[in-house]
């Protein structure tokens, strides 16, 4: 286990060593004298519950831990750049740091989707295990370090397993997916399409109106806490689980590589540690608030909370494997990352089955 941890950390160590070498070659100013003012762009609405509030805490933690030597001003989506331009803005240095989700950048590189969520993929514990001890983070950094991207990514938040979404009509069989117009991005959307549905991609701010007016029949966003923030319980009656499409979506901080290596070593460590703390804290916040919001939805809002029928999930799973197999053939980065991801998922699934899964069943006896 120790040896595996050292191997997993090798990529990060190389990055730090390279940065130290550049630092020594620079002006020779003492690290404690240097102050940095950074801009942070995000894909979230201002102060959005969970994600936006987590980012605000991250910035406070970095400023406090650095005694004010690294100050970061946060810009919500559209304040400096639109949500889906965060990757380019940080890559090009318009902002030094950004927060969002890697699967938003699938048009830059489809392999990025593995670093957020894959349908029927991994839950939050399995995802963190792959990232920190299973080779995932090294692959993530290798991909983002390409000259055209010029980024250093850090795991920085997770919503935990999501809900399957809000539906105006019940889903009783695979036939009910035919012609279903649903807000569902990424690979999940492609899977729905193969099952006969019509996937739509909408930003958070547009989901409620689209669902309420009937321009879409269904929508997935996150889970009870975040979905109630959008008021989705007033737009559809049926709330399905589980979130097969996003079982443990990881969020990311991305830092411009030139900006990162310019920081003295202690500030680089502070950025890394603050992101790691956010990764834990956001998950804890979502878990606690989802439990509270679920109770409200069940008792006060009269929402019909139901599991997807097994044959529907089986069909979606089958199409997921079909989509992934095609992606592996089309893209060598996907092939390399998929090999690590799927090998790890297989081992993790066995351990999860006789640990968390077995325990949760026991608790309900
Ligand atoms: Ca979602």
Full set of structural domains in the chain with CATH: 3-158+248-287 (3.40.190.170)
CA of 206 to the centre of ligand 1 (A): 14
Q: Which of the residues in the chain have pLDDT under 50?
A: 1-14, 16-18, 20-22, 24-28
Predicted pLDDT of residue 202: 85
Beta-bridged to residue 36, according to DSSP, are 70
Give residue 324's pLDDT.
98
Q: Ligand 1: distance of its center to the CA of 307 in Å?
A: 17
What length does the chain have? Answer: 365
Question: Rounded CA gap, 189 and 132, in Å?
Answer: 28
User: Residues near 193 by Cβ (< 8 Å), separated by ≥ 6?
Assistant: 199
- 70-75, strands of its sheet edge to edge: 70-75, 36-42, 97-100, 250-256, 151-158
Q: Exposed/middle/buried for 193, CB within 10 Å: 0-12, 13-18, 19+?
A: middle
Tokens of 190: 């492609």
The Cα-based distances of 127 to 96, 160, 352 in angstroms read 26, 10, 12
Residue 162 CA to ligand 1 centre (angstroms):
6
Give the integer Cα–Cα distance in Å for 229 and 182. Answer: 19
Distance 71 CA to ligand 1 centre (A): 31
pTM of the predicted model, to two decimals?
Answer: 0.89
Cα of 246 from ligand 1 centre, angstroms: 6
Output the pLDDT for position 25.
Answer: 46
pLDDT of residue 30: 54
Q: What is the 25 CA–ligand 1 centroid distance (Å)? A: 45
Task: Report the candidate in 166, 191, 151, 185 with the shortest Cα–Cα distance to residue 297.
Answer: 166
């Amino acid at each position: 286990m120790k040896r595996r941890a050292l191997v997993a950390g090798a990529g990060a160590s190389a990055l730090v060593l390279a940065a130290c070498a550049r630092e020594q070659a620079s002006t020779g100013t003492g690290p404690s004298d240097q102050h940095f003012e950074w801009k942070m762009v995000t894909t979230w609405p201002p102060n959005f519950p969970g994600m936006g509030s987590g980012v605000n805490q991250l910035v406070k933690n970095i400023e406090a831990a650095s005694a004010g030597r690294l100050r970061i001003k946060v810009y919500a989506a559209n304040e400096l750049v639109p949500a889906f331009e965060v990757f380019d803005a940080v890559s090009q240095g318009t902002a030094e740091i950004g927060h969002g989700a890697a699967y938003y950048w699938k048009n830059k590189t489809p392999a990025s989707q593995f670093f957020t969520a894959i349908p029927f993929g991994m839950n939050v514990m399995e995802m963190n295990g792959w990232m920190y001890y299973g080779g995932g983070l090294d692959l993530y950094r290798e991909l983002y370090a390409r000259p055209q991207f010029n980024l250093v990514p850090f795991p920085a938040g997770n919503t935990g397993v999501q809900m399957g979404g809000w539906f105006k009509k019940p889903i009783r069989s695979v036939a009910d997916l035919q012609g279903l117009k649903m807000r569902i991005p990424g690979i999940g959307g492609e899977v729905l399409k193969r099952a006969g549905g019509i996937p739509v991609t909408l930003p958070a701010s547009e989901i409620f109106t689209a669902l309420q007016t009937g321009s879409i029949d269904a929508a997935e966003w996150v889970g009870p806490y975040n979905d109630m923030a959008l008021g989705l319980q007033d737009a559809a009656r049926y709330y399905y689980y589980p979130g097969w499409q996003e079982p443990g979506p990881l969020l990311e901080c991305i830092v411009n590589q030139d900006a990162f290596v310019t920081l003295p070593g202690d500030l680089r460590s502070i950025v890394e540690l603050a992101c790691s703390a956010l990764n834990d804290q956001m998950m804890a916040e979502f878990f606690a608030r989802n439990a509270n919001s679920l109770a409200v939805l069940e008792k006060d809002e009269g929402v019909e909370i139901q599991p997807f029928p097994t044959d529907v999930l089986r069909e979606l799973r089958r199409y997921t494997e079909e989509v992934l197999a095609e992606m592996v053939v089309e893209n060598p980065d996907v092939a390399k990352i998929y090999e690590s991801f799927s090998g790890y998922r297989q081992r993790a699934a066995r351990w999860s089955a006789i640990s968390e899964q077995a325990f949760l069943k026991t608790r309900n006896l």
